Chain A
C-alpha cells in the first residue's frame, strides 16, 4: 500500500518540499533571533534581519508550491532562484553598510558564495 504510494513521485517530492519548507522557516527564525542579539545599527543586525525576511518569504513559496510541483527539475529551479534572490539581496545591502568596510566585504563574498551554490544545484 505504502509502496505504491511512495512510488508516486508526487508524494515524495511533496514531502521533500515540506521538509525544505521546515528548514527554511527554521533558518529564518534562527537568523531573526540572532539579529535581535545585535544592536539595531550593527551591520550584523541588518544582514541577518534582511536574510531572515527573504528566507521566510521563500519558505512560504515552498509551502504554497509543495503540492503543485512534481519533478526534481522544477524544485531545483526554484531553489536556484532562491539562492540567486538572496545573492541579489546581499549585494543590495552594500549601500546600507557602506560605512562598515568589513561588512561590505563579507556580504560581497557571501553573494558570490550563494551564486556558486546555486550553480551547484542547477543541474
Chain B
C-alpha cells in the first residue's frame, strides 16, 4: 500500500485518480466491445452506433486526460521530494510549471477535465438528438450537464475552502493560500468521493431509463459504469480515512504468488463483476473476439489474435459498408490510427518476453545460494509482468476506440 499524510497525500491522491481514470477508460472500452460483438452475434437488438461513437470518444478523451494527469503528478512528486533534475542527461531543461503542488492545482486540472468531458458529451448528445436517438441523446446531454455542474461546484467549493484558509493563515503568519494541511486535503478527498457517488447514482438512474426504452446495450454500460464509480468512491473514502491507497502498487503487496498477483491486478483495475459479464458477452460472440482481460500468461495468444485479426476486421464490418466500398477506406484509416495501439502492444510483448526470461533464470537460481537474490528478482519479475499487462490494456483501449470511431464515422456521417 502507498501511504500519505499532509503534503505526501496529494501525490498519492493524484496517482489514485489517474489510475481510476485509466480504469474507467478500460472498462468503458471493453464493455463497448463486448456489447458491440454480443449484439452482432445474437442480432436481437441493433447496437447504437452513434452512442458507441460517443462513448468511444469519451474513452479516447479519458485516456489522454489520464496520461496528462500522470505526467503532472510525477512533476509534483519530483517537486515535493526535491529529486527533480533540472537538466536531463542530454542537457535539455525540464519545465516544471505543469505540476500539481496544491489542492488548487489539482482542482484546476479536474475542473478542466470535467469541462472537456462536458463538451464532448454535449456535442454527441446534440448529434444523437438530431438523428432522433432521443433517449440516449437525453442521457448523454444529462451526463454533460452533470459534468458541467460538478466542475462549477468544485471550482466554487475550493474557492471557499481556500479563502477560508487564506484568511486564517494570513492572520497568523501570511502563508500563501495554496498551502494546505492533511485535514483540508482529506476533506477534499471525501468531497470528491461524494461527487463520484452522485455521478454513480445518476448513471444508475439513466441506465433504468435506457432499459425502459429498450436501449439495453448502452443501459448495461451505464449501469456497470455506475458500479465502477461506486468502487472508486469507496477507494477515495478509504484513502481519506487511512491515508493509504490500496490501488497503487507496492512491492510488499506483490510478495504473493504469481497467480495471486495476476488475480489481484485484475481485480484492482477491472472489478471481477464486470470482468465476468464482459467475458460471458465475449464468449457468446464466439472465437472471433479479441480476448478481454487476458491472464498474464496468455499474452502470446492475445498478441497473435490481435496481429492476425485486428486489421482483418473486414469480417466484422456491417455488410452495407462492404457493398459501398467504405470498408476499404475504413480499414486503411484503422491501420493509420492504430499505430499507437500496435506500438503499445509490441512493448507489452517485450515486457512479456523479459518476464519469461527472468522467470527462467529464477528457476535456474538455486534458492540455497542466495535467498535475498531470489526474493528481489521475484519482485522485479512481478513488476515487469504487471507493467506488461498494463501496456496491453492501454493498447487494447486505443484499438477499440479507434475501431469504433472509424467504423461509426463511415456508417453515420
Q: Which residues of A contact B (CB under 8 A)?
A: 1-3, 6-7, 9, 11-16, 18-23, 25-27, 30-31, 33-34, 37-39, 42-44, 47-48, 51, 56-57, 59-61, 63-66, 72, 75-76, 79, 100-103, 105-106, 109-110, 113-114, 116-117, 120-121, 123
Contacts and interface: CB of A to CB of B under 8 A. Distances in A.
B346 A121 contact: yes
Contacts of B94: 60, 63-64
B398 A44 contact: no
Contacts of B85: 57, 60
Interface residues of B, number: 62
A15 B340 contact: yes
Nearest to B383: A30
What's the dominant secondary structure at chain B's contact region?
Answer: helix
B394 interface: yes
A3 B405 contact: yes
A29 to B, nearest CB: 9
Interface stretch (B57-65, B150-158, B269-277): B57-65
B354 A117 contact: yes
Nearest to B408: A3
Contacts of B247: none
A3 B249 contact: no
Contact of B347 (A26, A27, A42, A79): A79
Contact of B63 (A7, A15, A60): A15
Contact of A16 (B18, B344, B376): B344
3 shortest A-B CB distances, which residue pairs?
A44-B376, A22-B70, A18-B67
8 contacts: A18-B68, A19-B67, A26-B249, A27-B383, A38-B376, A76-B343, A113-B361, A120-B346
A3 B57 contact: yes
B405 A38 contact: no
Interface stretch (B128-136, B203-211, B291-299, B367-375): B367-375
Contacts of A25: 74, 77
Interface string B28-62: 00000000000000000000000000000100110
A57 B249 CA distance: 20
Given A21-B71, A60-B94, A66-B71, A1 B123 contact: yes
Contacts of A47: 376
Interface of B: 18, 57, 60-61, 63-64, 67-68, 70-71, 74, 77, 83, 85, 88-90, 92, 94, 120, 123, 249-252, 336-337, 339-340, 342-344, 346-347, 349-350, 353-354, 357-358, 361, 365-366, 369-370, 372-373, 375-377, 379-380, 383, 387, 390-391, 394, 398, 401-402, 405, 409
Contacts of B70: 18-19, 21-22
A100 B370 CA distance: 9
Contacts of A31: 380, 383
Contacts of B405: 2-3, 6
Contacts of A18: 67-68, 70-71
A37 B379 CA distance: 12
Contact of A33 (B67, B123, B250, B390): B250
Contact of A9 (B60, B83, B339): B339
B57 A2 contact: yes
A43 B372 contact: yes
Given A2-B120, A18-B67, A27-B383, 11 more contacts: A3-B405, A13-B343, A21-B70, A37-B252, A38-B372, A44-B372, A48-B376, A72-B339, A76-B346, A102-B369, A121-B346
A37 to B, nearest CB: 7
B373 A114 contact: no
Given A26-B249, A102-B365, A61 B89 contact: yes
B252 to A, nearest CB: 8
A37 B123 contact: no
A110 B361 contact: yes
Contacts of A2: 57, 60-61, 120, 405
B1 to A, nearest CB: 11
Nearest to A47: B376
A12 B340 contact: yes
